[in-house]
Copies of this chain bind each other. A is one copy, B any other.
Amino acid sequence: MHGTLVRPAPAAPVHASRPNRIVPVAVVGATGYAGGELVRILARHPFVRIVGLVGRGASGEPLEGRQPHLAGAGLAIESEVPSEAEAVFIALPHGAAVETASALVDAGTTVVDLGADFRLHDPADYPTWYGFDHPRSDLLARAIYGLPELHRAELSELPGSDGPAVIASPGCYPTATILALAPLARAGLIADVVIDAKSGVSGAGRDPKPDLTFSEVNESVKAYGVGGHRHVAEMEQELDLVGGRDLGPLEFVPHLVPMTRGILATCHVRTTRTVEQPELDALYADAYAGEPFVRVVDAPPATKHVLASNEARVHIRALPRTGRLIAIGVVDNLVKGAAGQAIQAFNLAFGLPETSGLDGLPVAP
């Protein structure tokens, strides 16, 4: 018998010996979208003090020059990470974080990387999916995939006896997809799955590109990355891990939708045996009981239901007409799909209450 997929949220901080304190943190990449969300949340986090922001722009330039909405934070961009930072969040394009992160970890600082540079455990995956040879397979071995619903125990034991290490915060698509499918994978129910995902535009980052202008995106939807989006690698790694077997290559097709935020992953599943709705309901209720940020819902969720919050919503439905299941996961790509999730993992690693700084309700309409 299998028990729960994940451990319930601990009633008390794991590191009982460490009372809540103010952790000095820094953000690298603070002028991007994920970086802005990190600042937005960390600036109001009760147990954190932001001691440094690194990003585009001259040292000393007010952050609001690049992030006008964050003027109220009263922060400025610096050229270097201050040494007092005990944890550093890095929000850079893939490939750009390896060097900075490695230096920080070597110097004894905990790194939470929001990019892909430490998500894949197998060094051989980097040339395949990201086009570069990873120089630090030692760090890949020590990195924790920062999805608390799957790896809470490992995250809670950071920093361990072997010193500080790297939290590799999951991608936005993998977060929505893995949360939707993990209970099925763990129960060995997935025979075959098609993942058809829809994303808002902010997931593509802040750099202006010809196909990301308002005029091109508005009133239009399209598929992209059809041949194989990089995020599929971490989906396969984690779903194989939770299920204890190789599901084979996953079909994953993302779509660009005319909205700024939000990811919805629609997972069309053929099961290994007949399964009916009550069993599914129990499976998912059990899997996510006690999870502070995953809500199993009876109706297909809209991305707007989780906007600007760290909440994920998951919906599971047996389709008697076709014999398939549909599993849907939604997150705000910049919060549970990026900055919020990184802070959730950081909270665990530093023995802080897991929901610290993350208890804001979604913003709608």
In the complex, the answer to whether B69 meets A305 with C-beta atoms within 8 Å is yes
Question: Which residues of chain B come closer than 8 Å to A223, judged between CB atoms?
Answer: 264, 266, 300, 326, 328
- Which of A77-85, A132-140, A201-209 touches B? A201-209
Interface residue? A117 (CB, 8 A): no
A268 lies within 8 A of chain B by Cβ = yes
B221 near A201 with CB under 8 A, answer no
Nearest CB of B to A31, in Å: 11
For the complex, give the distance between the alpha carbons of A86 and B180 in Å: 43
CA distance A221 to B201 in the complex (A): 13
Contact B198 A255 (CB under 8 A): yes
Kindly specify which of A88-96, A151-159, A210-218 makes contact with the partner chain: A210-218
Cα distance, A35 to B306, chains bound together (Å):
18
A295 at the interface (CB under 8 A from B): yes
A44 within 8 A of B: yes
Of the candidates A69, A212, A226, A266, the one having the most CB atoms from chain B within 10 angstroms of its own CB is A69
A123 at the interface (CB under 8 A from B): no
Chain B residues contacting A73 (CB-CB under 8 Å) are 361
Identify A261's interface contact among B67, B219, B360, CB under 8 A.
Answer: B219
9-residue interface stretch from A20-28, A99-107, A317-325, A343-351: A317-325
Are B213's CB and A40's CB within 8 A?
Answer: no
Contact bitstring A286-309, B, C-beta under 8 A = 1, else 0: 000000000101011111111111
Mind listing 5 A-B residue pairs with CB under 8 Å?
A72-B295, A214-B216, A216-B304, A218-B218, A226-B300
